[in-house]
Structure 1
Amino acid sequence: MRYMAAYDLMETMRNTNQWLGASALSMASYPVFSMVPNPALQWMAAWGEVTERTFKRMTAKPDWGIRTFTCADGKDHLVHIETVVEKPFGNLIHFRIPGRKPSPRKVLLVAPMSGHYATLLRSTVKSLLVDCEVYITDWHNARDIPVSAGKFDVEDYTLYLVDFMRHMGPDTHVIAVCQPAPLTLAATAYLAEEDPKAQPRSLTLIGGPIDPDATPTDVTDFGARVTMGQLQETMIQRVGFKYPGVGRKVYPGLLQLSSFISMNGDRHAKAFMDQIARTARGEASDHDAHNRFYDEYLAVMDMTAEFYLSTVERIFKNCEIAKNEFTVNGRHVDIGKITSVAVKTVEGAKDDISAPGQCIAALKLCTGLPDSMKASHVEPDAGHYGIFAGKSWRNNIRPLVLRFIDANSPAPMPKVKPANKNAAAK
């Protein structure tokens, strides 16, 4: 499984299915068939259209799609997406709004690198742009990074975050979503020892596996069921000849996608059958709810083998963050050294990926932080996606996070729309 042939075989299967879909659509849409209307041809064309789009999206990086923004002056302003720090494995980008006075709330949004692009947080970014100056980590697809760029594991990831925080300065408020929560906590602790003046003012951890053993789920318990040898043999492949990263060992995004889909296979199968039916009836559109969701969900990226394996071994198997035993370049990163950065955790009561209890474990690790600078919130009836991009985020969690940011800012901030009460954010 570790050879280019296996990677190219998966790409060939994807490409073939895309071609079959395009062929079915073209054949069933042939004008001469209109002389003899046949419902079977309508279904064939619909199947082809949905199939082609499905397999085509798997190798396309989604666009941010954030082009204009209505500011307080009532005018629509263009949104410029600018790269402010460029690195081989990921950039720091800024959503700049010309003509709008820079917001005093400067937010670094740390996006997950777990198979999807940072655009998975598109709705999160759009909701924060209203009140904040938003920066985000934009991780690169490992298949596009030449082998000459070297390795990238959890320690490198942590040092990337350290560099991004240093660049943004001490008035930054960091929000880490899901997978990067443990490493963002480690990066903050690293700065607490190495460069205290560069520490952010606050750190909000949303649905992250700080302590995977606190409340195990099928996802976080995966590391306990397999050996590292099994993972290397079955999950790691070398990038094929089609991409610039040819020869690089990766955990392919297509494998990750198959894992995602298998978790809710029946639901996804029904969603695609329903979409084919809608397409056959002429009720589907290019940007309908199905296509908006799956255009993002199906767009996957490869992770470097060393990042994937070190995440499983050090974060999930050995629980180095949970035990406060994490090291970077041989030096212990003591989370207890965080003494001046306010920390808030957010969890969803129905999160089946990072269940309640996993993220709040961060507060126990911050032994050097007074209780007055710790906060937590569990959102009732919210699942994993809802706590950072769904209705729960928009209506409840986002206002609470902004309140927490304001409470830990040096100057008075603009008022935020009221939300449900949360003593931790006072």
Structure 2
Amino acid sequence: MRYMASYDMMETVRNTNQWLGASALAMASYPAFSMFPNPALQWMGAWGEVTERTFSRMVVKPAWNIPALPGKDGLDHTVVEEVELAGPFGDLLHFTVQGRETPKRKVLLVAPMSGHYATLLRSTVISLLPDCDLYITDWHNARDIPVSAGKFDVEDYTLYLVDYMRHLGPNTHVIAVCQPAPLALAATAYLAEEDPEAQPSSLTLIGGPIDPNAAATEVTDFGHRVTMGQLERMMIQRVGFKYNGVGRKVYPGLLQLSSFISMNIDTHRDAFMGQIQRVMSGEAHEHDKHNKFYDEYLAVMDMPAEFYLTTVDRIFKKAEIAANEFVVAGKKVDIGKITTVAVKTVEGTKDDITAPGQCIAALDLCTGLPDSKKASHVEEGAGHYGIFAGKSWRNNIRPLVLDFIDDNESATPPGYRQKKPANKNTAA
């Protein structure tokens, strides 16, 4: 019960701050006050506007808002998100471009379950849509999932990926971003033994902790420094009475957000003070740079406690994937059984979350895969976010990934091939 009280207390604080912001904005907006302009009232109104927006975004799932796609026919084609496969903990979404001939490249984009919604990859989705028939894993907020739905840990996550790969078929190209990279590798190895015909054509792993011990970061240091008992006591709470998942054990999104912000508190403080000044001076607008970033950054979701704890324990502490000792549904998964699926890794030299060396370790684990089907790329000067959503992704990495897909896709006609720079896509 005390964990539910803690959860409800956090929600009460969030709700109160949202109300305070709305109240300050309403009070400062009284028409009578306009007769006697007062900088203090202007500041209060600006503070209220920014505060209300900030705390309201913490409990809202962002919309995809994918813009219409220009077609070869000169028309703009609407993009519609359709649920391809529904599940209690996540859906397989399909981005359908109305009126467009389906591209030959079928891509499954595996989004992380790490505190933010799959919409964190919106810019990645927009960049891939012109060239791909695109699907994405859309994970649900654990606070909205009834306890009766059962548990969800790293093995369940892996089996969800197995089901998605089976459903999409062997001509699928999987791109796993960050946290799910080791589990996508495990799912592919699982299929290699259980259902070889359902394996994807290629697997691209971007900034994933395949071997967290290969290069230390703050994330890996934290994982080794705390015990599982400490982690459970500090991070795990039960969903409060307000949501459908009442009683479910979770790592709350609001608690995760406080950790995110504390890592760069000075930067965030300056950003919010600057936005208040811009609102006061009339320079801010609905879709300015600040709102565009923080609308996504502040939208957090609760993670199932089992998933969070088993990720820390089995992926980081015990490094089961790196040791090729991962077990799914009582069966040991041998990554060496992958013999036909082409595997590519992508890393950034300035990635402080998944440092260079952690992801490329996947290629050494694929002992049954010929070198001709292995590739790696390290992007100079790119941080963690940049390797899948920034300028580095758009200008350098995305073309290389599409080349890699074409190199390992019999269904892709030659006209789809990209021009690739020399020595950018080297076999490991």
Task: Report the TM-score when normalising by structure 1.
Answer: 0.98
The answer for the alignment partner of 2:347 in structure 1 is 347
Match runs of 1:69-148 below 5 Å: 69-148=69-148
Q: Give me the whole-angstrom Cα distance separating, in 2, the residues matched to 1:235 and 1:51.
A: 26
| Residue 250 of structure 1: how far off its partner (Å) | 0.3
Q: Which residue of 1 aligns with 2:186?
A: 186
Residue 42 (1) aligns with residue 42 (2) = yes
Q: Which amino acid aligns with 1:102?
A: T
Task: Note if contact 1:2-1:236 (Cα within 8 Å) is conserved in structure 2.
Answer: no
Q: Which residue of 1 aligns with 2:260?
A: 260
Mapped partners of 1:151, 1:135: distance in 2: 25
CA distance in 2 between partners of 1:263 and 1:413 (Å):
47
Corresponding residue for residue 200 of structure 1: 200
> 343-352 or 416-425: which moved more?
416-425
CA distance in 2, matches of 1:422, 1:107: 25
Q: Give the C-alpha shift of residue 278 in structure 1.
A: 0.5
Letter in 2 for 1:414: G
Number of the residue aligned with 2:232: 232
Deviation string 1:112-171 (CA, Å, 9 cap, x unpaired) is 000000000000001000100000000000000000000000000000000000000000
Contact 1:207/1:384 (8 A) holds in 2: yes
Measured after TM superposition, the shift of residue 73 of structure 1 is 1.8
CA contact (8 A) 1:67 1:80 kept: no
Return the letter of the residue paired with 1:4: M
SS at match of 2:383: coil
Instruction: Determine helix, strand or coil for the equivalent of 2:403.
Output: helix
Asked if 2 retains the 8 angstrom alpha-carbon contact of 1:25 and 1:46, the reply is: yes
Secondary structure at the residue paired with 1:347?
strand
Aligned residues: 426
Which residue does 1:220 correspond to in 2?
220
Which residue does 1:424 correspond to in 2?
425
CA separation of 1:417 and 1:368: change in aligned 2, threshold 3 A:
closer
| Percentage of matched positions with identical amino acids | 76
2:392 matched residue in structure 1: 392
Q: Secondary structure at the match of 1:58?
A: helix
For 1:326-341, list aligned pairs within 5 A. Answer: 326-341=326-341
Aligned to 1:55: 55
| 2:289 match | 289
- C-alpha contact 1:407 1:425 (8 A) present in aligned 2: no
- For residues 120 and 417 of structure 1, what CA distance do their matches in structure 2 show? 26
- SS of the aligned residue for 2:212 comes to coil
Q: Which residue of 2 aligns with 1:175?
A: 175
Distance 2:144 2:407 in 1: 42
What secondary structure does 1:424 align onto?
A: coil
8 Å CA contact 2:18, 2:56 repeated in 1: yes
Please give the secondary structure, in 1, of the residue aligned with 2:357.
coil
Q: What does the per-residue CA deviation read over 1:264-322, in whole Å, with 9 as the maximum and x for residues that have no partner?
A: 11111111111111111000000101101100000000000000000000000000001
Residue 81 of structure 1 aligns to a residue whose secondary structure is strand
Q: Is the 8 A contact 2:346 2:387 kept in 1?
A: yes
Q: Is the 8 A contact 1:105 1:132 kept in 2?
A: yes
Counterparts of residues 377-388 of structure 1 (less than 5 Å): 377-388=377-388
- Deviates further, 262-271 or 360-369: 262-271
**Which whole-Å CA distance do the structure 1 matches of 2:85 and 2:122 have between them?**
20
Q: What's the offset of the Cα at 1:67?
A: 4.4
Quote the residue 1:361 is aligned against. Answer: 361
Q: TM-score, normalised by structure 2?
A: 0.98
State the partner residue of 1:321: 321
Q: 1:41 deviation in Å?
A: 1.1
Structure 2 Cα separation of the partners of residues 29 and 161 of structure 1: 51
| Matched-pair contact (CA < 8 Å) for 1:115–1:301 | yes
What's the offset of the Cα at 1:71? Answer: 1.5
Classify 1:2/1:133 alpha carbon distance in 2 versus 1 (closer, same or farther; 3 Å): farther
Contact 1:209-1:354 at 8 Å conserved across structures: yes
How much does 1:417 deviate? 5.1
The answer to whether 1:209 aligns with 2:209 is yes
- Check the 8 A contact 1:403/1:425 in 2, yes or no: no
CA contact (8 A) 1:107 1:174 kept: yes
User: Which 5+ residue runs of structure 2 have no aligned equivalent?
Assistant: none
Aligned-partner Cα distance in 2 for 1:115–1:419? 35
Tell me the residue number matched to 1:10: 10
1:346 and 1:263 map into 2 onto residues whose CA distance is: 25
Amino acid at match of 1:424: N
Looking at structure 2, the residues matched to 16 and 422 of structure 1 have their Cα atoms a distance apart, in angstroms, of 56
**Contact 1:115–1:300 (Cα < 8 Å) also in 2:** yes
Question: What residue identity is the alignment partner of 1:278?
Answer: R
Instruction: Report the CA distance shift for 1:128/1:211 in structure 2 as closer, same or farther (over 3 A).
Output: same
Q: Which amino acid aligns with 2:23?
A: S
> 1:216: Cα distance to partner?
1.1
Counterpart of 2:374 in structure 1 is 374
| Residue identity in the other structure for 1:421 | A
Is contact 1:107–1:135 with CA below 8 Å preserved after alignment?
Answer: yes
Contact between 2:162 and 2:188, CA under 8 Å: does it hold in 1?
Answer: yes
Give yes or no for contact 1:108–1:175 (8 Å, CA) kept in 2: yes
The answer to whether the 8 Å contact 2:114/2:303 transfers is: yes
1 CA distance for matches of 2:85 and 2:370?
33
Aligned-residue RMSD, C-alpha: 1.2
Regions of 4+ moved over 4 Å:
none
1:187-213 CA-partner distances (Å, limit 9, x unpaired) = 000000000000000000000011111
* Contiguous gaps of at least 5 residues in structure 1: none
Q: Contact (CA 8 Å) 1:85, 1:92: kept in 2 or not?
A: yes
Letter in 2 for 1:42: Q
